[in-house]
């Protein structure tokens, strides 16, 4: 497929358009109607090891709300890499601070380029709604700190602290993970984009609704709670724009949350893309 062409693909009975935003492949769905507020963009990203194709069902529901719904692969993932999902997971978890911070930082940078492309090519307003699952949620929070066109954030099982203190492996035993050591490139991305070390960017930031697993030991809820506490010390008004909600136990850990989509996704959608958005 030529990078200037748009193709139609079908995933699980859902018809999507595939195009290239520069060198980055994207999938999107046009809504059947345009709300009075005009054409608006909703981006929803996958987690570590996932691909944009996995987001098809989410994108369909976003488009049903009247939004141009878009997903793209995180850096090094899917069509942007040469690994299987398992290989990507193994490589990144072997040294999260080296490999994971590069994925996060590069994809945060890419987000602004994707928005530029969508405004110019898809004719959406420069008023973007963004969210994501796990690492995709981390990216949405960080991107909102550097791109003011992002006006409302809805991440799930996510963290605004790239250090992820207290992080445990995703397993029944759940031992503490060795986070690894960053190289110079990874450290530069952390220094530039890590939300909790750039609280000043969120003093006038957009509303966020962080949906967390009450029993998540891979991304402990305390990470997001601390972000809100530290922001509140600078501005109660800014902290009030951050809502934290919990998926309760049992099976409210990182591994099982997605299987409970029917519990957290509808209220998240109502908050994120509802009439008040």
Sorting pLDDT into bands at 50, 70 and 90, what band is 174? confident
Interatomic CA distance for residues 19 and 157, integer angstroms? 29
Q: What is the pLDDT of residues 8-61, one digit of tens each?
A: 999 999 999 999 999 999 999 999 988 878 899 999 999 999 999 999 999 999
- The pLDDT assigned to 30 comes to 96
Distant-in-sequence, close-in-space partners of 62: CB < 8 Å, separation ≥ 6: 29, 42, 44, 69, 269, 273
Q: At what angle do helices 184-193 and 135-146 cross, to 10 degrees?
A: 60
Write down the mean pLDDT value for the chain: 95
Q: Do residues 152 and 66 make contact, with C-beta atoms less than 8 angstroms apart?
A: no
pLDDT digits (tens, 9 = 90+) for 234-256: 999 999 999 999 999 999 999 99
How does residue 4 score in pLDDT terms, banded at 50, 70 and 90? Answer: low
Predicted local confidence at residue 73, as pLDDT: 97
Helix, strand or coil, per DSSP, at residue 27: strand
Q: How far apart are CA 154 and CA 131, in angstroms?
A: 4
Q: Which CATH architecture has domain 7-273?
A: 3-Layer(aba) Sandwich (3.40)
Q: What is the pLDDT of residue 276?
A: 42
Residue with tokens 């090519």: 121
- Answer yes or no: is pLDDT of 262 > 90: yes
- pLDDT value for 86: 95
- What element of type H or E holds 196? none
Residues 240 and 262: their CA atoms lie apart, in Å, by 27
User: What distance, in Å, lies between the first and last C-alpha atoms of the chain?
Assistant: 36
CB 206 within 8 A of CB 153: yes
Question: Is the predicted pLDDT of residue 92 greater than 70, yes or no?
Answer: yes
> For the residues 141-151, what does the mean pLDDT come to?
98
**133 close to 258: Cβ distance less than 8 angstroms:** yes
pLDDT at 184 over 80: yes
Percent of the chain with pLDDT over 90: 93
Q: How many CB atoms lie within 10 A of CB 64?
A: 15
Q: Does the pLDDT of residue 277 top 80, yes or no?
A: no
């Amino acid at each position: 497929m030529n990078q200037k062409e748009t193709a139609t693909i079908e995933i699980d009975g859902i018809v999507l358009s595939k195009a290239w935003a520069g060198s980055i492949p994207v999938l999107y769905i046009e809504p059947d109607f345009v709300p009075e507020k005009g054409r608006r963009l909703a981006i929803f990203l996958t987690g570590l090891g996932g691909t944009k194709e996995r987001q098809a069902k989410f994108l369909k529901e976003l488009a049903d709300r009247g939004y141009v719904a878009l997903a793209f692969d995180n850096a090094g993932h899917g069509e942007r890499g040469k690994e299987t999902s398992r290989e990507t997971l193994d490589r990144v978890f072997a040294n999260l601070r080296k490999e994971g911070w590069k994925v996060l930082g590069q994809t945060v940078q890419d987000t602004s380029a994707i928005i530029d492309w969508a405004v110019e090519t898809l004719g959406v307003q420069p008023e973007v709604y963004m969210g994501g699952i796990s690492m995709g949620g981390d990216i949405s929070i960080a991107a909102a700190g550097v791109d003011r066109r992002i006006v409302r954030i809805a991440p799930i099982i996510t963290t605004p602290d790239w250090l992820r203190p207290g992080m445990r492996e995703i397993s029944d035993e759940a031992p503490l993970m060795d986070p690894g050591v960053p190289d110079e490139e990874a450290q530069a991305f952390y220094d530039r984009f890590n939300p909790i070390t750039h609280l000043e960017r969120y003093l006038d930031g957009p509303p966020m609704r962080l949906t967390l697993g009450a029993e998540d030991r891979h991304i402990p809820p305390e990470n997001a709670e601390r972000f809100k506490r530290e922001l509140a010390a600078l501005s109660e008004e800014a902290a009030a724009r951050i809502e934290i909600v919990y998926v309760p136990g049992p099976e409210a850990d990182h591994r099982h949350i997605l299987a409970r989509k029917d519990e957290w996704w509808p209220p998240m959608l109502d908050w994120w893309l509802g009439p008040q958005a």
